């Protein structure tokens, strides 16, 4: 047992306690009076349903995070990682192959153990509140596709990083950073074209009133928008969404069919105006550069720790390896990533106000307000989150703050 081991256990327990306390604090405010601006979001029946939904998710969250803490601690303390490491080393003596088997067993193992939780979430909780549209068959196919993607993409990148480590030693992080950077830019550009079709059907938004309104808004603000797609989100859930992806010629807007069903034309244009605001105010490029810099920082710090055998031994393995060090480092680094995540969330909330302002100034605030209310109503969202919970977890400001800003 070494110093890093105790640090890892402390971090895991501390994070669990912090999260549980935050969730508890947030849950204590579920019954707070609803702000005046939001009085028309729910009627009496829907409000009670939303209270029930939040309580159900709160309790389920405690159950699943407690399970996951005990599982991780038991695996760590009773030599789970050593067992998997030896299993992988019996199959091959090539470090890259050993690492791939090691991560493969851990990922698949933890995925199998957590599947009952996600199954329950989808087919019991979401089903009970009328959100679920998925079927057990679709659920299983999604899982398998997700695993295959993880094996191909995750395994591929891991193999390349390990190869750099063998070849360039301590400097591996610079090459790894370059590969990860190219990969993430490539994914940002082609995600909609390559990955989304594996899970959903996308069609170009058909000609008609909505398309005309969107096009004339885009022309007015000087935003080139040729690619507007509709995605069949309704095959899994009634919850609605819209997002923006890519840049240059690859930039596109994707609207969930559920969004088109729930909102009227003006409200959809307002939602798009908000998205255009993110683009025009350069939030997209900022986020991308920030995440590339953070990746570089993480890889650099990893390079300082990876060669210290104690870092590997901290997870209970008897032989030093890059893959064991990577697991150990992943936990040791998590307090730092919590802090960078907190900063990114803070900036993201600022950006949301700026994008709302852009929609208000170039289009109208009223349809954005009503669309936000409808979306909150249809997802039974929490209208009275605790400020500490917002500070740590929210990438978007609470609804009431957005509406006050739009009304100001
Ligand atoms: Zn936004």
- Tokens representing 335 are 């307090």
Instruction: Judge whether 244 and 357 are in contact, CB under 8 Å.
Output: no
Residue-level pLDDT at 246 = 83
Give 163's contacts (C-beta < 8 A, 6+ positions apart).
96
Task: Say yes or no to pLDDT of 260 above 90.
Answer: yes
Q: How far apart are the CA of 20 and the centre of ligand 1, in A?
A: 28
Q: How far apart are the CA of 315 and the centre of ligand 1, in A?
A: 40
Averaged pLDDT, 221-241: 91
Considering the entire predicted model, what is its pTM?
0.90
207/223 Cα distance (integer angstroms) = 19
99/94 Cα distance (integer angstroms) = 9
CATH number for region 202-277: 3.30.2010.10
Average pLDDT along the chain: 94
Q: What is the pLDDT of residues 171-228, one digit of tens each?
A: 999 999 999 999 999 998 999 899 999 999 999 999 999 999 999 999 999 998 888 9
Q: What is the pLDDT of residues 62-76, one digit of tens each?
A: 999 999 999 999 999
Domain ranges of the chain: 3-195+282-407, 202-277
- Tokens representing 339 are 């802090």
Q: How far apart are the CA of 368 and the centre of ligand 1, in A?
A: 12
Q: How far apart are the CA of 353 and the centre of ligand 1, in A?
A: 8
Give 353's contacts (C-beta < 8 A, 6+ positions apart).
397, 402, 405
pLDDT-above-70 percentage for the chain = 100
Residue-level pLDDT at 51 = 94
- Read off the pLDDT band of 1 (50, 70, 90): low
Task: Say yes or no to pLDDT of 251 above 90.
Answer: no
- Read off the pLDDT band of 28 (50, 70, 90): very high
Q: How far apart are the CA of 274 and the centre of ligand 1, in A?
A: 6
Q: What is the pLDDT of residues 279-312, one digit of tens each?
A: 999 998 999 999 999 999 999 999 999 999 999 9
Residues with catalytic roles:
275, 356
Q: How far apart are the CA of 221 and the centre of ligand 1, in A?
A: 17
- Tokens representing 164 are 């750099």
Residue-level pLDDT at 315 = 95
Annotate 15-33 with b (16+ C-beta within 10 A) or e (fewer).
Answer: bbeebeebbeebbeebeee
Q: How far apart are the CA of 278 and the centre of ligand 1, in A?
A: 7
Averaged pLDDT, 47-51: 94
Task: Say yes or no to pLDDT of 247 above 90.
Answer: no
């Amino acid at each position: 047992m070494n110093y890093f081991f105790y640090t890892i256990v402390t971090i895991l327990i501390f994070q669990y306690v912090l999260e549980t306390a935050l969730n508890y604090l947030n849950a204590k405010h579920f019954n707070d009076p609803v702000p005046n601006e939001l009085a028309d979001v729910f009627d009496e029946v829907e409000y009670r349903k939303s209270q029930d939904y939040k309580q159900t998710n709160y309790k389920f969250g405690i159950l699943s995070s407690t399970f996951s803490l005990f599982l991780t601690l038991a695996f760590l303390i009773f030599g789970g990682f050593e067992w998997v490491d030896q299993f992988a080393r019996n199959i091959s003596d090539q470090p890259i192959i050993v690492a791939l088997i090691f991560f493969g067993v851990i990922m698949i193992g933890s995925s199998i153990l957590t599947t009952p939780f996600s199954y329950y979430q989808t087919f019991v909780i979401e089903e009970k509140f009328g959100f679920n549209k998925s079927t057990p068959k679709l659920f299983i196919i999604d899982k398998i596709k997700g695993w295959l993607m993880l094996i191909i993409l995750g395994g591929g990148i891991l193999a390349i990083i390990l190869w750099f480590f063998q070849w360039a030693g301590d400097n591996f992080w610079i090459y790894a950073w370059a590969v990860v950077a190219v990969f993430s830019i490539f994914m940002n550009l082609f995600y909609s074209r390559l990955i989304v079709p594996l899970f959903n059907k996308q069609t170009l938004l058909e000609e008609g009133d909505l398309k005309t309104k969107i096009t004339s808004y885009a022309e007015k603000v000087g935003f080139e928008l040729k690619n507007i797609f509709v995605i069949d989100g309704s095959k899994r859930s009634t919850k609605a969404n819209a997002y923006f992806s890519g840049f240059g010629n690859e930039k596109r807007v994707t609207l969930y069919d559920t969004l088109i069903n729930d909102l009227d034309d003006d409200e959809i244009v307002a939602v798009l105006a908000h998205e255009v605001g993110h683009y025009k105010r350069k939030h997209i490029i900022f986020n991308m550069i920030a995440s590339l810099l953070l990746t570089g920082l993480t890889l650099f710090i990893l390079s300082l720790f990876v060669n210290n055998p104690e870092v590997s031994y901290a997870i209970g393995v008897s032989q030093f390896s890059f893959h064991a060090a990577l697991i150990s480092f992943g936990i040791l680094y998590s307090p730092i990533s919590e802090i960078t995540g907190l900063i990114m969330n803070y900036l993201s909330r600022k950006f949301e106000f700026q994008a709302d302002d852009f929609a208000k100034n170039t289009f109208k605030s009223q349809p954005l307000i009503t669309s936000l209310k409808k979306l909150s109503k249809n997802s039974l969202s929490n209208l009275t989150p605790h400020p500490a919970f917002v500070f740590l977890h929210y990438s978007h400001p609470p609804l009431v703050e957005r509406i006050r800003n739009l009304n100001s």
